Structure 1
């Protein structure tokens, strides 16, 4: 759920070539704030896939050995990041497995982003990487996913409704991604 200063509408735009650079800038800030606590900082979500239309919101995944809610919130709050309070931003189900997470919004007025803290060995961390890597590798799926997201955002511009409708379609996409992973020998390294 967006904070009052964030966009409330789902708007999908063409891929922007500056997204990787903007991710790198965010990753540098976050790495410094976490002071070696992260195992990896990944560019995930649609903005991490060249050529894929997306909402202009960078998704960052920070993989940590173990979530420490008090410490993690404190470290990121020092940079102005705001922990999203909704229950669905504290846990998620990936491939039938309940996983812990924390999601942060950017400081008020900063570049739109979502920062996802996930445990390195969590199914949800793997899921985010598989989503990205599958869409990078499979042009047909990338084009179809982009077309679907554009049409959905046009017909359902409310951000919350957009996300709720997109979730079951994501499950279908990820079934194809799992087949691709098995066939190609992909692993979340």
Structure 2
């Protein structure tokens, strides 16, 4: 899941996508499932593993995305954000994550995204600086969805509608959610 900010001129297109994906686009069909109360425990197991792997290099470890919101239907993928002082300094942490089975999928300035886990328990791991605007946006969005039934319902309906089609890459699905994400963040008072 990548947030894209239209006001920042960062709308995703094929050229931008090809530059940031390590192995190119992967066509996908999104599957949304009802909330699973086991998701927080899956996050906690991964968070403990990441604390062991990264130690003090992990300045923050947070459960983000739809699986972090009780009652919200989601893709059954645990999304995690880890605060790394300088994600561009890959030598400082990448070898340790790769040895633990984390596969680098996205490389862009101040952000790396990894995939790990078997098909039954997949994980997306986003590494940003702890105070990065994207980190703050993920957390603000999570909190808004946890506290607003109406926004949670709107977001779920949007995701279910978008999941009816196939996508050239998962990032295009994430991009298509941006208008409703932006609307929800604005209602929650997001200022960036």
- For 1:52, which of 69, 72, 95 is the aligned residue? 72
1:81 aligns with 2:81: no
In 1, the alpha carbon distance for the partners of 2:40 and 2:23 equals 25
Aligned pairs for 1:1-40 within 5 A: 8-40=28-60
The residue number in structure 1 matching 2:7 is none
Distance (whole Å) between structure 2 residues aligned to residue 173 and residue 14 of structure 1 = 21
Alignment root-mean-square deviation, CA: 2.6
Q: What CA distance in whole angstroms lies between the structure 2 residues aligned with 1:26 and 1:134?
A: 24
- TM-score after normalising by structure 2: 0.78
Q: Give the superposition deviation at 1:167.
A: 2.5
3-state SS of 1:56 partner: coil
Match of 1:141 in 2: 151
CA distance in 2, matches of 1:165, 1:173: 14
- Inter-partner Cα distance in structure 1 for 2:185 and 2:123: 23
For 1:48 and 1:140, the matched residues in 2 are separated by: 17
> Which consecutive residues of structure 1, in runs of 5 or more, have no partner in the other structure?
92-99, 183-189
Separation (CA, whole Å) in 1 of partners of 2:130 and 2:183: 24
For residue 152 of structure 1, what is the aligned residue in structure 2? Answer: 162
Query: 2: distance between equivalents of 1:170 and 1:71?
Result: 33
Shift, 1:169, TM fit: 2.8
> Is residue 2:177 matched to residue 1:166?
yes
How far the C-alpha of 1:56 sits from its partner, in A, is 0.6
Structure 2 unaligned segments of length 5 or more: list them: 1-20
Q: Is the 8 A contact 1:11 1:157 kept in 2?
A: no
- TM-score if structure 1 supplies the norm length? 0.79
Q: Separation in 1 of the partners of 2:154 and 2:32?
A: 14
Distance 1:142 1:116 in 2: 22
Is the Cα–Cα contact under 8 Å of residues 34 and 74 in structure 2 kept in the other structure?
A: yes
Tell me the matched-pair count. Answer: 168
Distance verdict in 2 for CA 1:66–1:2, change over 3 Å: closer
Q: Which residue of 2 aligns with 1:113?
A: 123
